[in-house]
Amino acid sequence: MRTNNFIHNLCIILFISSLSGCLKYPAYEVTNPPFVNQTSLEMYVGEQREVVSSPVSANFKWTSKNVTVATVSQTGIVKAIGEGATTIIVESDNDQKTIDVRVRVFVPTTDITLPKELVRLFEGDKVQVWAYPVPDDASESIVWTSANSSVATINKSGVVTAQALGITTVTASSGDITKTIEINISELYKCDKTEWTVEVSDETASDGGGKDRMIDGNTDNAGYWHSQWSPSNTPLPHWAVIDMKEPIEAGRIITQRRSNGDTKTLQYFIGNDPDPDAGTWTKIAEGAYASTTSAHSITLDVAEPVSGRYLKLVLPDSNRVPFTAICEIDVFGLRN
């Protein structure tokens, strides 16, 4: 009996299998899309480019949607005709690819403008330098190179990194036009303030210890100079003139304000006349604390150092008018 059931089931399976072989399915169509080595093109009027397609043996049809902008041959040669945008279509029998084309008129660079022709740095420093092509719609962008990358490197965005002491140049190029910036990498040394003296516009010596605390070497905020508030407030601006006892070419100044955050903007001048109102002072640095709660030490680098015996600090404003307070000033000289 079991044998009969097995034979019966086997017959059913064979019958169903024979029926399935009679069913018709739609034919599977294999497409052959073209491959092209470009998806977009930026071109200038009069320029031509070759677009490579594959398989090479395939018979593709090439067309341009706007032949007044760009034309294309049946071998993939694209010619820029006029300013504008168009699309190149590459067709096989059952598929296609498109290439976006933008055509502009070429504008040659006639000059390059440099905001600075000399940049002074210290080892490890980084600075952004700028160069602007003329006219400002020139077709070719600025390309940067360094004459000596062991002294200073420059990336494609114009960021210079000081690598070692020395002098080199970085060059900005656009088309046939080039301009150079001198990069001077100098050594800094911290100035000895032992013999220095300071005079101020005003002070309340009982609050913080007075003017000498600005140059005593302590940065613990326990000692500081404070503008006058007793018996009355002295209005802004406040100033201090430091006698450094000898001419110094300052390259960096670090200033620590009192931690209450009153002090806002710092303006530094250098000269050889101690009179605060003399007309011979040269401004060498300016900076401002970001907020009342930001870091209370600020570092100012001198872009164009000038030698002088006297250093003048002017405090033109305040976060709590008219009060300002300075804890310590450190000067770093240049050793070329």
Q: What is the DSSP string of 42-105?
A: EEETT-EEEPPEESTTS--EEEES-TTTEEE-TT-EEEE-SSEEEEEEEE-SS-EEEEEEEEE-
Do 137 and 90 sit in the same domain of this protein?
A: no
- Domain annotation covers residue 152: yes
Do 164 and 272 sit in the same domain of this protein?
A: no
- Domain annotation covers residue 242: yes
Token pair recorded at residue 272: 């050889």
The last residue of a domain, from among 104, 129, 147: 104
Instruction: Tell me if 89 sits within 8 A of 65, measured CB to CB.
Output: yes
CA angle 295, 200, 265 (to 5 degrees): 30
The last residue of a domain, from among 124, 151, 186: 186
Instruction: Tell me if 275 sits within 8 A of 243, measured CB to CB.
Output: no
- Domain annotation covers residue 95: yes
Q: What is the CATH number of the domain that holds 166?
A: 2.60.40.1080
Q: What is the pLDDT along the chain (336 residues), one digit of tens a residue?
A: 555 555 555 555 555 555 555 445 454 444 567 899 999 999 999 999 999 998 877 889 999 999 999 999 999 999 999 999 999 999 998 899 999 999 999 999 999 999 999 998 998 899 999 999 999 999 999 999 999 999 999 999 999 999 999 999 999 999 999 999 999 999 999 999 999 999 999 999 999 999 999 999 998 888 999 999 999 999 999 999 999 999 999 999 999 999 999 999 999 999 999 999 999 999 999 999 988 888 899 999 998 889 999 999 999 999 999 999 999 999 999 986
- Domain annotation covers residue 2: no
Omega before 322 cis (within 30°)? yes
- Domain annotation covers residue 191: no
State how far the Cα of 211 lies from the Cα of 208, in Å rounded to an integer: 9
Do 169 and 119 sit in the same domain of this protein?
A: yes
Do 93 and 212 sit in the same domain of this protein?
A: no
Do 207 and 296 sit in the same domain of this protein?
A: yes
Omega before 135 cis (within 30°)? yes
Do 256 and 311 sit in the same domain of this protein?
A: yes
- Domain annotation covers residue 192: no
Token pair recorded at residue 197: 């003296």
Strand partners, 267: 286, 314
Do 255 and 316 sit in the same domain of this protein?
A: yes
Do 173 and 226 sit in the same domain of this protein?
A: no
The last residue of a domain, from among 186, 208, 239: 186
Token pair recorded at residue 145: 């190179």
State how far the Cα of 20 lies from the Cα of 13, in Å rounded to an integer: 11
- Domain annotation covers residue 12: no
Number of structural domains the chain divides into: 3
Q: Please list, in sequence order, all residues whose beta carbon lies within 8 angstroms of the beta carbon of residue 312, skipping any fewer than 6 positions away.
A: 239, 240, 241, 242, 268, 269, 270, 271, 276, 281
The dihedrals phi and psi of 275, each to the nearest 5 degrees, come to -65, 120
CA angle 7, 12, 13 (to 5 degrees): 100
Do 130 and 96 sit in the same domain of this protein?
A: no
Range of the structural domain that residue 205 is part of = 197-335
Q: Please list, in sequence order, all residues whose beta carbon lies within 8 angstroms of the beta carbon of residue 286, skipping any fewer than 6 positions away.
A: 265, 266, 267, 268, 300
Q: What is the CATH number of the domain that holds 308?
A: 2.60.120.260
Q: In what order do the strands lie in the sheet with 61-64?
A: 40-44, 96-104, 84-91, 61-64
Do 137 and 264 sit in the same domain of this protein?
A: no
Do 263 and 289 sit in the same domain of this protein?
A: yes
State how far the Cα of 146 lies from the Cα of 173, in Å rounded to an integer: 11
Do 209 and 292 sit in the same domain of this protein?
A: yes
- Domain annotation covers residue 321: yes
